[in-house]
Structure 1
Amino acid sequence: MNKIAFIFPGQGAQYVGMGKEFYDNFPEAKAVFDAADEALGFDISKMCFDGPEEDLKLTRNTQPAILTMSIAALKVLESKGIKPEITAGLSLGEYAALVCSGVMDFKDAVQVVEKRGTYMQEAVPAGKGKMAALIGMDRENVLKLCDDFGSYGVLEAANFNCPGQIVIGGASEAVEKAVDAAKEYGAKKAVLLPVSAPFHTSMLSPAAEKLEVELKKLNFNDASVPVIANVDAEVVESTDKYLPNLKNQVSSSVMWEDSIRKMIELGVDTFVEIGPGKSLCGFVKKIDRKLNFMNVEDMASLEKALSKLEA
């Protein structure tokens, strides 16, 4: 049997209608959506299934919505007897990985990510911060670009997604200047992203401080499945690391490529992306196209994944 990793997507993967097929066909999935509605005190299920898209795109709604859909899909896969040997999630997706591993209770997680989304949305006034994707640049040149244009304001590497795709964020003017100059530093393309704040940069420190207060109210259990942390791409060995990792994750770089490479180093050859979209499969493919990768987000992708995993 292949060594399987479950990986969970982050913000930006959401779409109206996500999770509806699982809700309609699997009681395990329906129970997750119902639990989320109860824990949040509003109908996040209806927002996932019917929108409106404008509401679903608000960070404070997006984060609990994606987490809920991801855990609903996870429960469907678990009901088929498919279990991971290691897990990780991109940014928000790390919370799904922690639920998957038993470190966090789902109801605690969905409540805290709603607060996380709110704090991240409020941390930087509208228009003051931006993010951009740099395509075709290596790390060294991205860091040099950030250093050279940091005089215009905060400018940092936010997401190391895969070879040739790194996201930067920071003060609006600094990001805009960096985008204009990116081709001189080796970028094939530089694109401003439609996000409400410069996530995973030091400008989000106020959100991290507020989140820490909420995280201190939670219980963290020992992991039943190893979890790779975003902040350092290492297996979290002790429960006292989860809180600082989740706090720091808000305002520091997401080491996603490194996380995938760490799992490969630990023997993983099959990656199952669980939740909306399949962007993480794309990242895995760019890291090593010989790996097995698949996503689970609806009935068609579930059946396709099961045909491979049960073979």
Structure 2
Amino acid sequence: MRAFVFPGQGSQKVGMGTELAAASAAARETFEEVDEALSQNLSTIMSEGPAEELTLTENAQPAIMANAIATLRVLQHDFGVSLTGAGSCVAGHSLGEYTALCAVDAFTLADSARLLKLRGQAMQAAVPVGVGAMCALLGADLEAAQELADAAAEGDVCEVANDNDPSQVVLSGHAAAIERAVGMVKDFGIKRGIPLPVSAPFHCSLMQPAADAMEEALAETSPQALALPLYANVIAALVDDPAVEQRLLVEQITGRVRWRESVLAMRASGIEHFIELGGKVLGPMIGRIDKEAQVTSAITMEDLENLAKEIG
């Protein structure tokens, strides 16, 4: 059994999708459709930069989705691999959940792009720049990270935002609390605390204004039937009901990305092979979560050709 998984923010880089677009009409058409949906030449920012513009949350989120869907469409159209034929389920890390929903036809590509543009804008606007921050804890399990967050809060918001793998947990909240947490890591047996170069404190309660904005947007553009079931971030469990997923997408804005638990749940359900499309970020995480899991990450035409042979 196979799961197709899709990366989240931080996987963007200038030049993304350029090789696919040069080699495949399916990729070019994907990028053109996203540009048209956003009334923005996002594909040029993706291919040429500048990096500061691509990194803006409102650009990074639809760009990462567009690149992953282009990768999927090349796999489908150029190499004849059917997602529903080859896969048993899908999942995505944070914004990657929207990519996963697009992949299983719950959202159109145009709607996915517009929703992620809005999501990025709403998340950026929710907290003034400088008020919030995030940090990655290396060599930390969930229990140690939670104890550190509780100790560092001191009346501020300091919450576990991402449980990525057994050795990496991310905290999010007020900048002062995150700074305290980084300074206290050794007291909790954690190897390192690294401030993250993000513009807002994602996946914590400070994001409530963004959750409200997405609730309104998703009421107007709601998910449709899923061609394959999805493992949702905030519950780390299988979802196949569009109405339930609509609610979970709202909760996801302030809720924890339970990626480690999601991978373990997929493994428990019989998933043996994880295929990451459009990035090489989730693959290493999955390997750290379960060394027995088979992982393939595909970005290039060569990657996709090899993948098609492997699963064909």
Letter in 1 for 2:305: E
CA contact 1:32–1:71 (8 Å) conserved in 2: yes
- 2:53 alignment counterpart: 55
- Is the CA contact (8 Å cut-off) linking 2:133 and 2:196 kept in structure 1? yes
The alpha-carbon deviation at position 65 of structure 1 amounts to: 0.7
Partner of 2:75: 77
For 1:171, the equivalent position in structure 2 comes to 174
Identify unmatched segments of 5+ residues in structure 2: none
Q: 1:300 Cα shift? A: 3.0
| 1:186 pairs with one of 185, 189, 198 | 189
What is the match of residue 112 of structure 2?
109
TM-score by length of 2: 0.96
Do the aligned partners of 1:160 and 1:254 also contact (CA within 8 Å) in 2? yes
Please report how far the alpha carbon of residue 184 of structure 1 lies from its aligned counterpart in structure 2 after TM superposition. 1.2
The answer (yes or no) to whether the contact 2:21–2:27 under 8 Å persists in 1 is yes
1:216 aligns with 2:219: yes
**Is the contact between residue 295 and residue 302 of structure 1 (CA under 8 Å) also seen in structure 2?**
no
Query: Cα deviation per residue 1:70-116 (whole Å; 9 max; x = unaligned)?
Result: 10001111222332211000001000100111111111110010000
Instruction: Give 2:141's aligned amino acid.
Output: D
SS at match of 2:292: coil
What secondary structure does 1:214 align onto? helix
**CA RMSD between the two structures:** 1.2
Alignment of 1:136-285 (within 5 A): 136-275=139-278, 277-285=279-287
Alignment match, 1:14: 12
Counterpart CA distance in 1 for 2:166 and 2:310 is 27
TM-score, normalised to structure 1's length? 0.96
2:100 to 90, 97, 102: 97
Question: How many equivalent residue pairs?
Answer: 307
Secondary structure, in 3 states, of the residue corresponding to 1:195? coil
TM-superposition CA deviations, 1:5-62 (whole Å, max 9, x none): 1100001100111111111111211111111011000111111111111110100111
Q: Distance in 2 between matches of 1:303 and 1:98?
A: 24
- Identical amino acids, percent of aligned pairs: 38
User: Which deviates the most, 101-110 or 295-304?
Assistant: 295-304
CA distance in 2, matches of 1:55, 1:256: 28
- C-alpha contact 2:222 2:246 (8 A) present in aligned 1: no
